[in-house]
Structure 1
Amino acid sequence: MARQAAATTRPIRLADVARAAGVSHGTASNVFGRPEIVRKEVRERVHAAAEKLGYAGPDPKGRLLRAGKVNAIGVATAQPLSYFFEDPFARVVMSGISQACDATGAGISLVSAANQEHLAWNIQSALVDGFIVFCVEGGSRLVELTRERKLPFVALDFAFEDQTVAAIGVDDRAGARLAARHLTGLGHRRFAVLSLPFADDAATGPASQERRRRSIYAGTRDRLLGYFDVVAEHGIDTGSVPVYETLNDERTVRAGLNHLFAQPEPPTALLAMSDRIALAALDWLRERRLSVPSRISVVGFDGVPEGAISIPPLTTVVQPMAEMGRRAARAILEHDGSLPRETMPLELVVRGSTGSV
């Protein structure tokens, strides 16, 4: 009885349809895959048999895998899926990836997970020709997992000493120097840094020198070093510059500003490690009627579109985010066995959020 029940639940296969329609397996396959070479009456007979048996058609996954290419890119991050839609940097990079995919008719699969167990499964099961890896957090684990798939991948970061890791990114330290040099040129000497995370433990608050030194995120470490390169050139003790670690979100940025402006000598210039941080800071300052830039100057990092229309417009270090996405996508779609390590140019765009002391 159990054997009979199992037989009734077996999925309907193409061979069953061919048998019911009185045609060969090859003819039935052509009806679904190459219908133009099958006579109309035969097609109709096969479709009628398929409908009667409840056959939905061949598995597209199997067909794509047999073809050896699925014409799709996986875009991976260890962040929750909402990161692709909420983070301004991610949205602009995704626009560049989308443009490259649209040009070739390729698809995009977003691969993310809030925990490592799901991330491993999602990377292993993604039906893609290669990966673009957002190395904002958990980058090393992402690279490890994508390598296991033995598919081409490009990291949007230079967080890896391993020169065999294909990467497209920017020189974070040089970009941070541009921001700090602009502010020192305006006469500022009292700085504070609103930083990205130094580690993956979700800690926030004033970052000790030891925590900064042990940073596991190269981008955060290098931006801080770039700021301090310039600050030190002007005889300022970098140990006296407050660094408040945020989670790159409004809640922790506001907590950081509450802390910084409660000090006896609050800063006259804020160095924000992302535009998202800087824009949240502008909102906080405006609510408290702390005039920007006459009371305090703010410099961001990224060049997201929202910065051009903020109040006031944001001075920022611009990285070519959309072009980075386009180049990474093309490297996967046009993969010829080699993958790039390319440093993209940075530019300081001066707007209304910075002024002289």
Structure 2
Amino acid sequence: MSNKAIRLADVAKAAGVSQGTASNVFSRPQIVREEVRERVRAVAKEMGYNGPDPRGRMLRAGKVNAIGVVTSEPLSYFFNDPYARVLMEGITEACDAGGAGISLVSSQNREELAWNINSALVDGFVLFCLEGDSRLIELTRERTLPFVALALGFEDQSIPAIGVDNIAGARMMARHVAELGHRRVAILSLPFADDRFGPASMDDVHAAIYATSSDRIAGYFEGLAEFGIDTAKVPVFETQNDGQTTRAGLEYLFSQAEPPTAILAMSDRIALDALDWLRQRGIKVPLDVSVAGFDGVPEAALSSPPLTTVAQPIAEIGRRAVKAILDGASPGYREMLDLELVVRGSTATPKN
């Protein structure tokens, strides 16, 4: 008999006991006589049977004590991106407190991600970086498990979500830069669409499929317009939130006849990469150019100079998402958390 074919019923028959008794040996051994326990275990060992599949037991109980964190990014994103790392700290803290485990559900291929969502053994899902993909949202709904999206930009208001007001946060940062006296302002944006980077036109901005990107640029434009800045002339360079495309954006911006005196970066990751690029070229921050980020990751306080940013409660977002799942988040559940403008050494008045 192959290991794959061995069942509990086979062990029970070989040991001369009922299937119920054999099951108790593995699940409730204290109620089985010692001699019977030893005989069943010896037979199971000889046959290569290691006990009932825990997945079946958990499914029969209706709970697996695990939260699925779903993203269309590669798994390395959870470890390489500073925002994702802090978010996962909050998620793991809440899972530890609730006695739940974590299952990372990820794939860069949409078909593989759909299969992973359908097959994941979890009690609910935290949806991360799935904006613009309604199909994956529907696949999650079809599981009939609690789920929470970590963004508020979905048009479908029935999607349970936790997030921040990206428009208000970006507006706050744009006002700060304009109040310092900057009028030549450039934007290094998060993606508006997949697999694309470069100078973005207003058509690209208006056609953005990612709500976080479109909301942040809307907030920047609102804040700058309050100070009479013509936003149609504000250069926007679309990055993929990585070093390579950020560097390309900076090379583009600083090759112009009038380079910016202030850069609004849509993430701290972009802003920190920008600080490195500027330092390597002897462009002083904030003397020659001010740089501002968005997120409030720990690295922002440790950069040189320390980064001005819009701080969101990243870990708290993760903790509340898990709590919402464990509490059985219902359709329409929405929660918006506060943002804070943190002014540090990377922004100052322009020198001319």
Aligned to 2:275: 282
Alignment of 1:202-217 (within 5 A): 202-217=195-210
- Distance (whole Å) between structure 2 residues aligned to residue 48 and residue 294 of structure 1: 77
- Distance (whole Å) between structure 2 residues aligned to residue 68 and residue 159 of structure 1: 32
Aligned to 1:302: 295
- Distance (whole Å) between structure 1 residues aligned to residue 223 and residue 208 of structure 2: 20
State the 1:137 CA deviation. 4.9
State the 1:319 CA deviation. 0.5
User: Is the 8 Å Cα contact of residues 93 and 325 (structure 1) preserved in structure 2?
Assistant: yes
- Distance (whole Å) between structure 2 residues aligned to residue 338 and residue 186 of structure 1: 43
Aligned to 2:47: 53
Aligned to 1:160: 154
- Distance (whole Å) between structure 1 residues aligned to residue 132 and residue 79 of structure 2: 19
Q: Mark the CA change 1:61 to 1:315 in structure 2 (over 3 Å): closer, same or farther.
A: same
- Distance (whole Å) between structure 2 residues aligned to residue 291 and residue 135 of structure 1: 34
* 1:315 aligned to which of 292, 308, 312: 308
Structure 1 ranges of 4+ moved more than 4 A: 7-10, 136-139, 336-339
- Name the SS of the counterpart of 1:301 in structure 2: coil
User: Is the 8 Å Cα contact of residues 75 and 132 (structure 1) preserved in structure 2?
Assistant: yes
- Distance (whole Å) between structure 2 residues aligned to residue 338 and residue 139 of structure 1: 18
Alignment of 1:160-309 (within 5 A): 160-200=154-194, 202-309=195-302
User: Is the 8 Å Cα contact of residues 279 and 307 (structure 1) preserved in structure 2?
Assistant: yes
Amino acid at match of 1:206: P
State the 1:142 CA deviation. 2.9
Gaps of 5+ in 2: none
- Distance (whole Å) between structure 2 residues aligned to residue 276 and residue 265 of structure 1: 25
- Distance (whole Å) between structure 2 residues aligned to residue 35 and residue 269 of structure 1: 69
Aligned to 1:348: 341
TM-score scaled by length of structure 2: 0.97
State the 1:234 CA deviation. 1.4
Aligned to 1:17: 11
Gaps of 5+ in 1: 1-6
- Name the SS of the counterpart of 1:284 in structure 2: helix
* 1:26 aligned to which of 20, 45, 49: 20
- Distance (whole Å) between structure 2 residues aligned to residue 271 and residue 144 of structure 1: 34
- Name the SS of the counterpart of 1:157 in structure 2: coil
- Distance (whole Å) between structure 2 residues aligned to residue 128 and residue 31 of structure 1: 27
Q: Mark the CA change 1:57 to 1:128 in structure 2 (over 3 Å): closer, same or farther.
A: same
- Distance (whole Å) between structure 2 residues aligned to residue 64 and residue 339 of structure 1: 29
State the 1:10 CA deviation. 5.8
User: Is the 8 Å Cα contact of residues 147 and 329 (structure 2) preserved in structure 1?
Assistant: no
- Distance (whole Å) between structure 2 residues aligned to residue 43 and residue 325 of structure 1: 44
* 2:69 aligned to which of 63, 68, 75: 75
- Distance (whole Å) between structure 2 residues aligned to residue 305 and residue 136 of structure 1: 24
Q: Mark the CA change 1:104 to 1:10 in structure 2 (over 3 Å): closer, same or farther.
A: closer
- Name the SS of the counterpart of 1:151 in structure 2: coil
Q: Mark the CA change 1:273 to 1:8 in structure 2 (over 3 Å): closer, same or farther.
A: closer
Q: Mark the CA change 1:223 to 1:336 in structure 2 (over 3 Å): closer, same or farther.
A: closer
Aligned positions, number: 350
Q: Mark the CA change 1:263 to 1:103 in structure 2 (over 3 Å): closer, same or farther.
A: same
- Could you report, residue by residue, the CA deviation over 1:10-63 in whole angstroms, capped at 9, with x for unpaired residues? 611101111111111111001111112112221111110001111121011111
User: Is the 8 Å Cα contact of residues 253 and 280 (structure 1) preserved in structure 2?
Assistant: yes
User: Is the 8 Å Cα contact of residues 124 and 145 (structure 1) preserved in structure 2?
Assistant: yes
Amino acid at match of 2:181: G
- Distance (whole Å) between structure 1 residues aligned to residue 8 and residue 245 of structure 2: 57
Amino acid at match of 2:196: A
1:119 aligns with 2:100: no
